[in-house]
Amino acid sequence: MKMSDDVLSEVIAQAVDAEMGRSAYPEEMPPMPPMPAGRYADPEFYALEQEHLFKKTWLNVGHVSELPETGDYKLFEQLGLSVIVSRSADGQVRAFRNVCRHRGAALLTEAEGNAKRFICPYHAWGYDLEGKLRSVPEAHNFACLDKQKLPLLQVRCEVWRGFIFINQNEGASPLHEFLAPIEANVGSFPIEDFSVKGVIRAELECNWKSAFDNFIENYHIQTVHTKTIAPFIHPKSFTVFRLKSGHARMNAMKRGANTIFANSGQEAQIKTETLFSRYTLAFPRFPNGFFSLDPSGLSWMNFWPISQGRMLLEQYNLGKTMGSPEEDKSYWDTFDTMTRKILSEDVSLFPGMRRAMEAGELTEVLLGVHEQAIYWYNEEIDRQIGVERIPERFRMEQVLGVSEEL
């Protein structure tokens, strides 16, 4: 059941008050044993993630605002995949393997565009936007041709609040069930009203989890973000609510300003009622995503593994159109500049972490209360892979075990 803003605000307030008055390890929380650093540096564990996590979990591949017209498409090309994500004539967003059913050539090579049909550049077999094979040059030369048996290979595709997800596992639960714990905790924030205003992408020299971890804990903010984030939140107010399926909700009390972008002097994206004016709301999204709800707009991040020691950070900035084209550009340029400044403060630290783990200088990772979302999603990774498949030296001790909330 979705919580109203009033209920959610009260739940957060109680947790924040308790946290700000805490001076000892929480009695109700189990100790978190050191986490094996090999999970970040060992090719064997990386292979397990690729096979049993990313091939079987819902993954965000874009936003519907990127595909406004019939025939608009984008290619998702991470994790060794090439998937066409496109809008069909009926308005539905569909996903297909970027593979011609004749000889396996890639149908599309441009990262994005518009296509009324998907025509193979090799032998010109043609498919409609629903994936049906419609045309085969010199079809009379194929004695066994049956067009109905050769549609494009469809990938399971569903949409939540405007965000497009795919899943290679046909047996997985529906997307709305997977994201129900998050849906129950976002309050009235108008996610579905927003569109993509800019995308930041950066390849980083680290394991994907090292970068992901950085954004789902508050412990480093007073040190790393002294002038950007720290002035806007109370450092001792950070709380974590563990949600089902490896997700989490993170909150902190603000220091008066509605948004860390308040110094831009521009009107906020949403009206800041008590919930959003008083508290930060951010969500680690299993397995590799994070987003924060801010009155200025929505930051939505994905962390894609390229190899065991390299990854792609992808951030979508979303919101409403602000006034004239000039005013809109000014607003989102300011948002982009501030975002890049914050990111730059983080990413310089990651290569050193990679080196320490790969060199074996750091063999264990000890986590504190404010870093519990890291331990929580790593426990879920093991549950998704299957604990029995994981070598003992990499396993998480399942101490947190169950979620605190939906």
| DSSP symbols for 45-109 | HHHHHHHHTTTSS-EEEEEGGG--STTEEEEE--TT--EEEEE-TTS-EEEEES--TTT---S--
CA distances from 397 to 49, 368, 381, 393, 400 (A): 17, 15, 12, 11, 9
pLDDT at 273: 62
pLDDT at 406: 43
| Model confidence pLDDT, tens digit, residues 298-335 | 999 999 999 999 999 999 999 999 889 998 999 999 89
Which residues are registered as beta bridge partners of 165?
A: 60, 158
Mean pLDDT score of the chain, rounded to an integer? 93
Contact 11, 3 (CB under 8 A): yes
* Greater pLDDT, 270 or 380: 380
**Nearest 5°: CA angle at 197, between 191 and 203?**
105
Q: How far is CA 181 from the centre of its chain?
A: 15
Which residues are registered as beta bridge partners of 154?
A: 96
Query: CATH number of 59-160: 2.102.10.10, 3.30.70.270, 3.40.50.150, 1.10.3470.10?
Result: 2.102.10.10
Question: Residues spanned by CATH 3.90.380.10 within the chain?
Answer: 5-57+174-394
Superfamily of 5-57+174-394 according to CATH:
Naphthalene 1,2-dioxygenase Alpha Subunit; Chain A, domain 1 (3.90.380.10)
Nearest CA among 403, 229, 404, 191 for reference residue 318? 191
Q: What confidence tier does 263 reach under pLDDT thresholds 50, 70, 90?
A: very low
Question: Residues spanned by CATH 2.102.10.10 within the chain?
Answer: 59-160
| Model confidence pLDDT, tens digit, residues 50-107 | 999 999 999 999 999 999 999 999 999 999 999 999 999 999 999 999 999 999 999 9
Contact 72, 110 (CB under 8 A): no
Spatial distance between the Cα atoms of 357 and 362, rounded to a whole number of angstroms: 5
Which residues are registered as beta bridge partners of 301?
A: 290, 315
Dihedrals φ, ψ of 77, to 5°? -130, 65
* Greater pLDDT, 265 or 92: 92
